[in-house]
Structure 1
Amino acid sequence: MTQDSLVSLSAVDARRLIGDRDVSPVELLDACIARIEAVNPAVNALAARCFERARVEAHRAEEAVMQGEPLGLLHGLPIGVKDLEETAGVLTTYGSPLYRANIPEHDNAMVARIRAAGAVVAAKTNTPEMGAGANTRNVVWGATGNPFAPLLNAGGSSGGSAVALATDMLPLCTGSDTGGSLRIPAALCGVVGFRPSPGLVPSDRRELGWTPITVSGPMARTVADTRLLLAAQAGFDARDPLGYEIDADAFAQRRPMGIARLRIGFTEDFGDCALDDATRATFRAKMQKLAEHVGVCEPVAFDMTDVHRTFDVIRAQNFIAQFRETYERDPSLLGPNTRANYEMGVTMTLADVVWAHATQTTLYRRFQQQLQRYDIIVSPTTPITPFPWSQWHLDAINGKPLDTYYRWLGLTYVISLMTNPAVSLPCGVDHAGMPFGLQLIGALRGDARLLDIAEALETAFANDDALKRPTPDLAKLRAPVAELTSIVTHPPVHG
């Protein structure tokens, strides 16, 4: 197979071919590295690279295949790990100048699981500083450009992962999600991003271990690839207070289902989220097309009163827990988004926190009751077509100013508060010809069934020009884009 045909393989197919001795893990890694070297200068998706170590691991993976040893779910598959996830022996900067030389001694719980399943970590993927924001740019690595238009926003905070996938640099990548960081970049780049239920993918590093707002999860080009990675990521770990015993293999295999009887409730904005008029029109057109494929596709109303202030308070708790020592030492050590979150938090009182958790509980119960009428709820993933990455964040929608840098993420952070699993599924393009994502929201702890539904819809969309996944024109991504790295002040060391 040629290098181009190797990198275009799905992760599922590549893993099968590796097991059948028809594809070499070494050749697959080399093909990925060649694609990275050819395309990454135009989009700047990657942070630290560890190609030499990856080649050693790929050779070991090949030897294991030839010797007939037991093979893990991800055996020999190159993978990108978001730069918020600690990787042993590989530079992990969190997009912050404070960690330019940080090389962890140990993998975190999730990274350890995917490496134990045979994945070969080839590179870290870019993220905004400390994951704060949905525009992947920082002063350590620079900005990540959208693969369909490199001067536009790729989303975040898992933007590097989404771009690496969309351009076939890597078959699988990891991400994390607080307010939409797995789903938003997936939507803006035309790939799949899955936010799992809290506790499904273990975390051993959350300062507030019982808070379910932040999760790690998989990203890929297809739903089948996404569930393959999830099957390796998921599992019980006693270090995660939200963890529970699961059958991870249940995520690896799709249970065939038809969609003709699916009951879908859709909402344009959950009644209280900002949405650009053009995106609203695009979503309505997508729903008309979707209705042709399913049994019920009808609008559903939600009462999300006070949801935005609730998110503000609960999000701010995490920033207080994580950055208090750094801020008190010197606020200038934190970037503007991280600092803004911290400073919002220190103005809050215990009464604010109690109110926010009580309101979240009320909203949660109301939402679960509405969802019982449907198999899934569908909304737009993002409220607007990609804007220039040089703009730190979105200031206004439909001419109405937004009061925080993350208010434009309301469509996704509403669901983070509900704790339901959610996936962003590619669904054609928007009015500007950029990728458009549908947010599919499943029943509480119904991760496996949601993935079954998403994969069935993906199959139906593939035969519909208005709904199928778009792909970038790689021929236009062969020239370096200097602007993407112009914000870097000092290059970091590599791990």
Structure 2
Amino acid sequence: IPLGKTNNPEWSAGGNTRNRVYGATANPYDLTRTCAGSSGGSAAALACGYAPLATGSDTGGSLRNPAAYCGVVGFRPSPGVVPGDKRGIGLVPLSTSGPMARNVADAGLMLSVLARPDGRDPFTTVVDGRTAWEPSDFATLPPVDLSALRIAVTEDYGFAPTESIVRDHFRKAVAALAPFMGRVEDTTPDCTGADRIFAVLRGLLFVSTHGTRFDQHPDKVGPNVRDNVIEGRGYGADDFAAAFTDQTAYYLRWQDWFRDHDVILSPAVTVSPRDWHELYPAEIDGKPTQSYYHWLAMAYASTLAGHPSITVPCGFDVNGMPFGLQIVGRRHADRAVLAVAAEIEAIIASIPDLAPRAPDLAALRSAPPLSDAPGFLSF
């Protein structure tokens, strides 16, 4: 039973849920801070108990980032598991939809409905009316022996501009979880060129999706869409050829690396939640970011390789804000990633320093309306 729509940034472009129509959505754990985006309304609604399930879309972490900031679960499946025929460039599966929920089991249940045979998505292979995965299997997750897994941990994938607050909490979380695991190794797949590949391909997607809109209504297009269209048009054929070639090499390196590892654990987002007035972090620990989406690097590391990635709540950082643990597995090992996440979720619940807690709904009810805050409807 659909309950309604939730808020997101303009055309889902950006990691902060603000727009000039419905205003800002704040973080339910601190109304001065962002809930991230683009599926920020979904994450906030889940955290506050409006509904048990929500959908989200994800290119550079648009469902994983808000899930992390709001203390809920967000799962980006492998390309084609949740079919979609609305991508303007269907053969570039950077964007996909996925389930969001308050726990991993519910996310799996929702995925069992979202995952279906639909050949209109070129990455959803349908043979005799069936896909390679059985959708109903996602609703029942098998037990996993974490001690038998080869687990990699990384604070930054070797390139993501990660805040010290995030690094510190991630180390604390890994130390608490390590006794329940087997081989834990500090390592990462080779992510050489990730920033450039993502920038060029994202620019291509924005030109195809929003170029005409920007040309016809430049005064009605927000800064994120505008900047991405302009950036995309600044690239040439050589840039696109290099990006696609480098992405292929990137993908192959990830497949080779995963022969010796089962999952990766990392932070979900590079920074702790900031003031929602900030459109995006222009700097991280004093170092400037490259673009409005550079701070999403922790998420697009796995996007570029097409690997299933899930965010689960894992304690609260030094600012008292929810911390999301990202778990990445082999391509098309979606059920296995959900199963590992469910095991880790149960362990986290047993560790007092990491166990989740709901936002203070009484405090939210008594707070002044966010719509009265300066900058609510503007940038």
TM-score normalised by length of structure 2: 0.95
1:398–1:181 distance in 2 versus 1, CA, 3 Å: same
List gaps (5 residues or longer) in structure 2.
Answer: 126-130
> In structure 1, what is the Cα distance between the partners aligned to 2:372 and 2:150?
46
1:363 deviates by: 1.2
- Match in the other structure for 2:79: 198
Q: Does the 8 A contact of 1:429 with 1:470 survive in 2?
A: no
Q: 2:6 aligns with which of 96, 102, 125?
A: 125
Corresponding position: 1:350 with 2:237: yes
- Match in the other structure for 1:167: 48
- Match in the other structure for 1:478: 365
Q: 1:263 aligns with which of 126, 150, 153?
A: 150
> In structure 1, what is the Cα distance between the partners aligned to 2:171 and 2:34?
24
> In structure 2, what is the Cα distance between the partners aligned to 1:462 and 1:380?
18
1:275–1:204 distance in 2 versus 1, CA, 3 Å: same
Q: 2:26 aligns with which of 145, 154, 157?
A: 145
* Identity value in percent: 42
> In structure 1, what is the Cα distance between the partners aligned to 2:258 and 2:352?
30
Aligned-residue Cα RMSD (Å) equals 1.5
- Match in the other structure for 1:392: 279
Q: 1:461 aligns with which of 323, 334, 348?
A: 348
1 or 2 for the larger relative contact order (CA 8 Å, sep ≥6)? Answer: 2
- Match in the other structure for 1:374: 261
Q: What SS class does the counterpart of residue 336 from structure 2 fall into?
A: helix
Q: What SS class does the counterpart of residue 3 from structure 2 fall into?
A: strand
Q: 1:215 aligns with which of 72, 93, 96?
A: 96
Q: 1:339 aligns with which of 226, 230, 241?
A: 226
1:350 deviates by: 1.2
Corresponding position: 1:304 with 2:191: yes
Q: What SS class does the counterpart of residue 257 from structure 2 fall into?
A: helix
Q: Which amino acid aligns with 1:306?
A: G
Q: Does the 8 A contact of 1:190 with 1:436 survive in 2?
A: yes
> In structure 2, what is the Cα distance between the partners aligned to 1:484 and 1:347?
37
- Match in the other structure for 2:246: 359
1:314 deviates by: 0.6
Corresponding position: 1:186 with 2:67: yes
1:470 deviates by: 2.9
1:480 deviates by: 5.0
- Match in the other structure for 1:228: 109
Between 1:413-422 and 1:296-305, the stretch displaced more is: 296-305
Q: What SS class does the counterpart of residue 194 from structure 1 fall into?
A: strand
Q: Does the 8 A contact of 1:127 with 1:158 survive in 2?
A: yes
> In structure 1, what is the Cα distance between the partners aligned to 2:67 and 2:36?
8
Q: Does the 8 A contact of 1:134 with 1:181 survive in 2?
A: yes
Q: Does the 8 A contact of 2:370 with 2:376 survive in 1?
A: no
1:140–1:296 distance in 2 versus 1, CA, 3 Å: same
Corresponding position: 1:415 with 2:296: no
Corresponding position: 1:444 with 2:325: no
> In structure 2, what is the Cα distance between the partners aligned to 1:358 and 1:481?
52
> In structure 2, what is the Cα distance between the partners aligned to 1:488 and 1:473?
22
Q: What SS class does the counterpart of residue 327 from structure 2 fall into?
A: strand
Residues 53-93 of structure 1 show CA distances to partners (whole Å, capped at 9, x for unaligned) of xxxxxxxxxxxxxxxxxxxxxxxxxxxxxxxxxxxxxxxxx
> In structure 2, what is the Cα distance between the partners aligned to 1:248 and 1:305?
34
1:330 deviates by: 2.9
Q: Which structure has the greater CA radius of gyration? A: 1
TM-score normalised by length of structure 1: 0.73
Q: What SS class does the counterpart of residue 122 from structure 1 fall into?
A: coil
Q: Does the 8 A contact of 2:15 with 2:293 survive in 1?
A: yes
Q: 2:312 aligns with which of 425, 429, 437?
A: 425
